[in-house]
Structure formats: structure tokens, C-alpha cells
Amino acid sequence: NAGVMQNPRHLVRRRGQEARLRCSPMKGHSHVYWYRQLPEEGLKFMVYLQKENIIDESGMPKERFSAEFPKEGPSILRIQQVVRGDSAAYFCASSAGTGGKNSPLHFGNGTRLTVT
């Protein structure tokens, strides 16, 4: 089992460019979550998706950020017109169910976004 796969591991973008972060959940997992971690801080929830559906996006900034989990292919977190404050580690997690005891969240290795 390859686990949760995220790519790229590192991404450098100039201000104003777009960043696309990809996440393939663990085999058999249909629930995907995106979290953001600023340096020396905890993880902040951004969005929870199932195939073709956004279930909870209460942690997503209202502008420039979007996420999708299409029927085929990985989940994508897209950040348009990046700013320096977007620099962070973005972690994807997946679960078989709703993240309870019997379906805990498994995290990927993260994508470290640097905006110059």
C-alpha cells in the first residue's frame, strides 16, 4: 500500500502565479482532506472532499483557493495568484470513512510551497 501520495514535494512560485497541488488517496479511501501548516504551527483544516463533491470547505479562504476531487484522478488544491503568505506546507489526508476510530486520517508527505 503506497499510502497517500502528494506531489510535488516542493513547489516554488513567484507572486501572482498559480500553484497546483495533487493528492492521491490511499487505495480504497474515498475521503480526502486538505490541511495547511505554517512554520512552527499546527495543522489547519481547509477542505473535505469525496469523489466529485465538496463536503466541507469552511477552512478555505474565500478567494483564490479551490479544490476538487474528480471521479478519475487525484484531488487538486489550486491556489491562484499566489502571495507570500501562501507559503506553507500543504498536507493531504485520506480516510475510508469519516475519520473516526475505525477510519483514521492518514497523511501524505506534504507539498512545501514557497512563494518568492
Please identify which residue in 28, 39, 85, 100 interacts with another protein, judged by CB under 8 A: 100
Is there binding between residue 107 and another protein (CB under 8 A)? yes
Is there binding between residue 104 and another protein (CB under 8 A)? yes
CB 78 within 8 A of CB 65: yes
Minimum distance of another protein from residue 52's CB (angstroms): 17
Residue numbers 17-76 binding another protein by CB under 8 A: 31, 33, 35, 40-45, 48, 55-56, 58-59
CB 91 within 8 A of CB 59: no
Helical segments of 1-116, H only: none
Radius of gyration from C-alpha coordinates of the chain: 13
Return d(Cα 30, Cα 23) in angstroms, integer. 12
The residues that touch another protein, with contacts defined as CB under 8 A, are 4, 31, 33, 35, 40-45, 48, 55-56, 58-59, 91, 95, 98-101, 104-110
